[in-house]
Amino acid sequence: MIIVTGGAGFIGSNFIHTWLSLSDEPVLNLDKLTYAGNLENLSKFQSDSRYHFVRGDIGDRELLARLLQEHQPRAVINFAAESHVDRSIHGPGEFIETNVNGTFHLLESVRGFWQSLSVPGQTAFRFLHVSTDEVYGTLAPNDPAFSETNPFEPNSPYAASKAASDHLVRAWHHTYGLPVLTTNCSNNYGPYHFPEKLIPLVILNALAGKPLPIYGDGQQIRDWLYVEDHARAIIRVLQDGRVGETYNIGGHNEKANLEVVKTICQHLDALRPRADGKPYADQMTFVKDRPGHDRRYAIDASKISAELGWSPEETFESGLEKTVRWYLQNPAWVQNVTSGDYRQWVEKQYG
The residues of the shown chain that bind ligand DAU, judged by CB under 6 A, are 83-85, 132-134, 186-187, 197-198, 201, 213-215, 220, 222, 257, 290, 297
217 in catalytic set: no
Asked if residue 251 lies in contact with residue 311, where contact means CB atoms within 8 angstroms, the answer is no
Question: According to CB under 6 A, which one of 150, 156, 187, 220 is a site residue for ligand NAD?
Answer: 187
Q: Counting contacts by CB under 6 A, is residue 73 touching ligand NAD?
A: no
Q: Counting contacts by CB under 6 A, is residue 312 touching ligand NAD?
A: no
Q: 214 is in the binding site of which of ligand NAD, ligand DAU, none (Cβ under 5 to 8 A by kind)?
A: ligand DAU
Q: Counting contacts by CB under 6 A, is residue 98 touching ligand NAD?
A: yes
Residue at shortest CB range from ligand NAD: 9
In the complex, the smallest distance separating the C-beta of residue 58 from ligand DAU, rounded to whole angstroms, is: 16
Residues near 30 by Cβ (< 8 Å), separated by ≥ 6? 3, 4, 5, 6, 7, 54, 56, 58, 63, 64, 67, 80
134 in catalytic set: yes
Binding mask 31-70 for ligand NAD (x = CB under 6 A): xxxx-xx-------------------xxx-----------
Q: Counting contacts by CB under 6 A, is residue 202 touching ligand NAD?
A: no
Considering the candidates 134, 228, 229, 254, report the single residue annotated as catalytic: 134
Residue at shortest CB range from ligand DAU: 132
Applying CB under 6 A, the residues found at the interface with ligand NAD are 5-6, 8-12, 31-34, 36-37, 57-59, 79-81, 83, 98, 102, 130-132, 162, 185, 187-188, 194
Tell me which residues are annotated as active site.
Answer: 133-134, 158
